[in-house]
Amino acid sequence: MAVGDDTPGVLHPVPGLRLATVSAGVRKPGRKDLVLMALDAGANVAAVFTRNAFCAAPVTVARAYLQASAGQPRYLLVNTGNANAGTGQAGIEDARACARAVALAGEVSAEQVLPFSTGVIGEPLPVQRIEAAIPAAFAALSSDGWADAALGIMTTDTRPKGCSLRFAAGGKDYVITGIAKGAGMIRPNMATMLAYIATDMAVDRTLLQALLGAAVETTFNRITIDGDTSTNDACVLVATGAAGNDALCDPASALCSGLREALETVCLALAQGLVRDGEGASKFVTVQVNGGREEQECLDVAFTIAHSPLVKTALFASDPNWGRLLAAIGRAGLADLEVNRIAVYLNDVLIASEGCRAGSYTEEQGVAAMAPSDIVIRIELNRGDSEATVWTSDFSYDYVRINAEYRT
C-alpha cells in the first residue's frame, strides 16, 4: 500500500555527477541492488547521519572518510539487501573493503569512497559479491542514472522517491536533484534513511553542511512512520560546482537564498514521499500544532499524536476518534496544560474544544473529514506563538504483515 500517486517525474542530470545501478546479488539474485555515484574532482559533499548509538558500520566508515577526504570524496557506493549493522568489527572491515575495491577501480584513495548500506540488520555483508559487481558499475556510469538509482536503493519501499528542480539564483541557472529510500524504521534523528541530493552549484563546504543541517531539521527530522530510528540513516548533499559559479560562501546572498529554497523543496518532497510510502500506509497525515509556548512542546505534542498506536489505527479506520487525540495530547508531558483552551481540528472541521466535543461538530462532518487519503490534524494550544508540523502515516493490517514477514 502507499498513499496517493507519487511518481518522481523527470530527474534532471546534475553536471559533475554520474550514476550506475547494477546487480550484485546481495540478498536476491538479479535484483539491481548496488548504486555507484561518481563525483567530478572538486565537488564538495555534506552529510548528516543517524544518531542511533548502534549506528551501522558503513555510517562509522562514511563519517570518518568524509572527514579524511576533507569533504571531497569522489565516489558514493550504496548497497541494499543488507544493512551491515550489528556486525561489529567485521562489519567495519567489510565496509572498508567495499570502499577499497571502488578506490582501486577508480584510481583514488579508499578515503575518497563513502560506503552506505541498507537492508536486513545483523547479517554479514557479502563483500565478494559486491566487489565482483564493481567493474560493471563503473562501465555503466551515466549522468542519466538518477531514476535507476532511485529504484536501486529501495528496500520495503513500493515505489521510488525523487525530486528534481531547475532554479535560478544570483542571475544564473542551476539544477538540484535528489532521491531517497525508506518505508519503515523511520523516525529520523538528525538525518533520515538514505537520501542523496546533488546540485551543480559550487558551494563552500562549511556552508553546504550548514544548509543541509537546516533543511533536514524541518523536513526529514519532522517525519515519522513508526517511531523507530534507523541504524543506517544518512542524507548526503553534493555540490559538484560544474555550473562554474564562484563558490557560494555568503549565507546572506541571493545565491544562497535560491539554493536554500530549492534544497528545502527537494528535502520536503523526499521526506513526504517516504511517509506516503510508509509500510502499510493508507493515509498521509499532517499533524500541525500551533500556539505553543515554544517549538519543542509543539513537537512533543505532534510526535505523541504521530506515534500513538491508537491514533494510527483510528486513522486506518477513517474513524474521527477525537478522544484518542485528546488522550495523546494529555500525555505529551506539557507543563501546566490547560486542556480547556485547546482546540482540535480535522482538516477545517473543529471537532473538540473546551475539553470536549465541539458544540458545532457532527459525526457526519468528522466522517467526511477522515475520508480522503490526505488528512490534516490541527491542534491549537492557545498558549503561545510557537508552532511545529510533522508528517506521519497510519497503522494498518499491512503494517503488521510487512513487519511480521520481513526477514522470515
Site of interaction with a second copy (CB under 8 A): 51-55, 83, 85-91, 120-122, 184-185, 187, 189, 226-231, 307-310, 313-314, 316-317, 319, 321-324, 326-331, 334, 337, 339-340, 352, 354-357, 395-397, 399-401, 403-405, 407-408
Which residues lie across from 288 on neighbouring strands? 378, 389
Smallest gap, in angstroms, from Cβ of residue 397 to a second copy? 5
Active site residue 192: yes
Residue with Cβ nearer a second copy (86 or 126): 86
Smallest gap, in angstroms, from Cβ of residue 228 to a second copy? 5
Residue with Cβ nearer a second copy (134 or 379): 379
Report the distance separating Cα 19 and Cα 201, nearest Å. 18
Residue with Cβ nearer a second copy (18 or 187): 187
What is residue 221's DSSP assignment? G
Smallest gap, in angstroms, from Cβ of residue 86 to a second copy? 5
Smallest gap, in angstroms, from Cβ of residue 363 to a second copy? 11
For the chain, what's the residue count? 408
Residue with Cβ nearer a second copy (107 or 336): 336
What torsion, rounded to 10 degrees, do the Cα atoms 223, 226, 229, 233 define? Answer: -60
Smallest gap, in angstroms, from Cβ of residue 185 to a second copy? 6
Report the distance separating Cα 236 and Cα 293, nearest Å. 33
Set 80, 192, 224, 392: catalytic member: 192
Residue with Cβ nearer a second copy (46 or 186): 186
Provide the CB-side half-sphere exposure for 353 (13 A, CA): 13
- Sign (positive or negative) of CA dihedral 303, 269, 384, 352: negative
Report the distance separating Cα 46 and Cα 71, nearest Å. 7
Report the distance separating Cα 388 and Cα 379, nearest Å. 10
How far the first Cα of the chain sits from its last, in Å, is 20
Per residue in 247-267, is it b (16+ CB within 10 Å) or e — as a string? bbeeeeeebbebbbebbbbbb
**Phi and psi for 285 in degrees, rounded to 5?**
-120, 125
Residues serving a catalytic function are 192
